[in-house]
Amino acid sequence: MSARSLAVTMGVSRRSAVKIIKNPVMALAPLSVPLFMFAAFAGAMTAVGKTPGFNYYNYTAFIFVFVLYQAMVFVAIFTGIEMAGDFGQGFGDRMMLAAPQRLSILGGYLLFTLGRGLLSIAIVWGIALLTGMPVRGDALEIVGLIVLALMLGIATTLWAAGIALRARSITAAALIFMSSFVVLFLTPDFVPRHLLTGWLKTAASINPLTPAVEAGRNFLAHKPAHVALAFGLMAGLVAVFTLWAIRGMKTAEQGPKTPRARGPRARREAKAAAAGGHEAGAGRARGPAARRARARARARG
Amino acid sequence: MIPSIIFPLFMLAILACAGAQATKVPGFPTKSYITFVIGSTLIQGAVNGTTVAGQLLAGDLETGFVNRILLTPVRQWVLLFAQLAGVAMVGLIGSIVFIGVGLIFGVHVKAGAGGVLALIGVTLLVVIAFGAIGLLGAALTGSAAQVQALFALFLGLLFMSSMLMPRNLITQDWFKTIATYNPLSYLVEANRSLLISGWDAQALALGCGFAILFFVVAMTGAVFAMRRRMERI
């Protein structure tokens, strides 16, 4: 990475950081839903942890892993929405003009997600420990849990960035939010997988996030299992969504697409326009299709 | 449609499958968690009335449309009730969809066919109450974004109620206290009583009483806030 690209990455990341420092309420927004869920489930459903077959040492610790991942996913969702807003308002285009390597812009958003994610992880851990959550895992296992959460955050940011760069509009926010939110909820979030019933059990079994949730809980309980599978799947998700985001950046570089003209008249107009309308007697083609074709030709040129 | 119908249905689907284990807690009032939790799904949909009503009015305030209407002989309360009529219609459709989906997936209403109608009626009352709160928020702030924040607040309060577990089975004292003082618990329990225990006059009176109280206070506040706006025009 060149010094200029590094400066762009740091600049994008710093800009996002300054925005939330100036508006601390915005900084806490991604944490509100996970913390409400943590309070609601750890407060109301503790009795479920003592039912037959639950087999986990503490219900608060059980729900904590899901809340930790949810906090990270929400940070990534908010970054994706910010990116969609930046590209929707044209700020992204200005950033692309300044960046020799456009992927350094993406790097800036990722760096910001990691920083904000670490802060969220620290807050969620702090609250959990203050409320007396017992931790059985050793230091290495806790690091493993945090690394899994960060990998999930990176994968979600790349997924959200791919959507934001393709849509280049704040309207992408709903798609970013719903897709990430739904997938996270299709894991064994409130009870172990073997106690799920109906379609959710099937969905959780094929969800690539399930091993990460289970491995995280195993780390916390000092019974590491499914570790390689969880890290492998997370690395796979990061790799796939990196390609998705890179393709999204290429789409963003090409700019908005003009709709292709349809119908025989439109084709005649487009052909005349593409020829430049300079042949003898051709005249300048008129009509909406011709205008669109000229715009395409200009974009290509 | 997504926040008012799809999102509560998604949460219902998740909680129905994930929460089945809760029915094994000794003393749990039913063997069907979907029957238990659909009462709160109806309230979750109703909470969205805050956003629907508030954003409609806030949008009209932001564009200056309401200011023009307020200069005509139309009374403020007529304008506010007209906004609520639309919210009530959305709420009615939503509650019929939720109950319909619930019945398909095994929800049993202990109070019978009359109970289904009562369930729709109570939910409609709650929708109107939350719609009035949304109107109050919009009339006070004139901002659609701030009305959106009200929805997040009430959704958070709903999670801190007896939505997931009956109050007598909550083992954490701090949460039991919050749920007891949280009026949303009583809205959920009014619906739940029709589903699980049949006709429970006390639960219905508490739920409907809180809904009517919210409605009266919020509508009175909204009318006064609109009058103050008119004085400033």
Asked, for residue B24, whether it belongs to a domain, the answer is no
Asked, for residue B12, whether it belongs to a domain, the answer is no
Q: Output the six-digit token pair for A284.
A: 């300048």
Nearest residue in A to B177, CA atom: A43
Per the model's pLDDT, the better-predicted residue between A99 and A84 turns out to be A84
Q: Do A43 and B163 touch (CB under 8 A)?
A: no
For B50-75, write each residue's pLDDT tens digit. Answer: 888 888 888 888 888 887 887 788 77
With bands split at pLDDT 50, 70 and 90, how would you rate the model's confidence at A300? low
Domain ranges, residue B46: 2-7+32-232
Q: Output the six-digit token pair for B138.
A: 């919009």
Nearest residue in A to B16, CA atom: A197
Nearest residue in B to A33, CA atom: B156
The reported pLDDT for the residue numbered A207 is 95
**Section B168-197 average pLDDT:** 95
* % pLDDT > 90, chain B: 65
Angle at B122 between CA B119 and CA B125, to 5 degrees: 145
For A205-246, write each residue's pLDDT tens digit. Answer: 999 999 999 999 999 999 988 899 999 999 999 999 999 999
Asked, for residue B144, whether it belongs to a domain, the answer is yes
Q: Do A46 and B172 touch (CB under 8 A)?
A: yes
Asked, for residue B82, whether it belongs to a domain, the answer is yes
Please report, for chain A, the start and end positions of each structural domain, with discontinuous segments joined by +: 3-254, 264-300
Q: Considering CB atoms only, which of B2, B13, B25 is closest to A47?
A: B25
Task: Please tell me the distance in Å from B21's CA to the nearest CA on chain A.
Answer: 7
**Section B6-15 average pLDDT:** 91
Q: Tell me the one-letter amino acid at B197.
A: S
Asked, for residue B22, whether it belongs to a domain, the answer is no
Reduce the DSSP state of residue B4 to 3 states and report it: helix
Task: Please tell me the distance in Å from B188's CA to the nearest CA on chain A.
Answer: 15
Listed in sequence order, the residues at least 6 apart from B2 whose beta carbon sits closer than 8 Å to its beta carbon are: A174, A178
Does the pLDDT value for residue B132 go beyond 80? Answer: yes
The answer to whether the complex's ipTM is over 0.85 is: no
Task: Please tell me the distance in Å from A123's CA to the nearest CA on chain B.
Answer: 18
Say what the pTM is: 0.82
Asked, for residue B25, whether it belongs to a domain, the answer is no
- Whether chain B has a CB inside 8 Å of the CB on A184: the answer is no
Highest-confidence segment of A120-124, A261-265, B2-6: A120-124
The reported pLDDT for the residue numbered A67 is 96
For B205-227, write each residue's pLDDT tens digit. Answer: 999 999 999 999 999 999 999 88
Asked, for residue B64, whether it belongs to a domain, the answer is yes
State the total domains in chain B: 1
The reported pLDDT for the residue numbered A279 is 45
B10 to chain A: which residues are within 8 Å by CB?
182, 185
Q: Considering CB atoms only, which of B17, B172, B174 is closest to A200?
A: B17
A251: left (phi over 0), alpha (psi -120 to 50) or beta: alpha
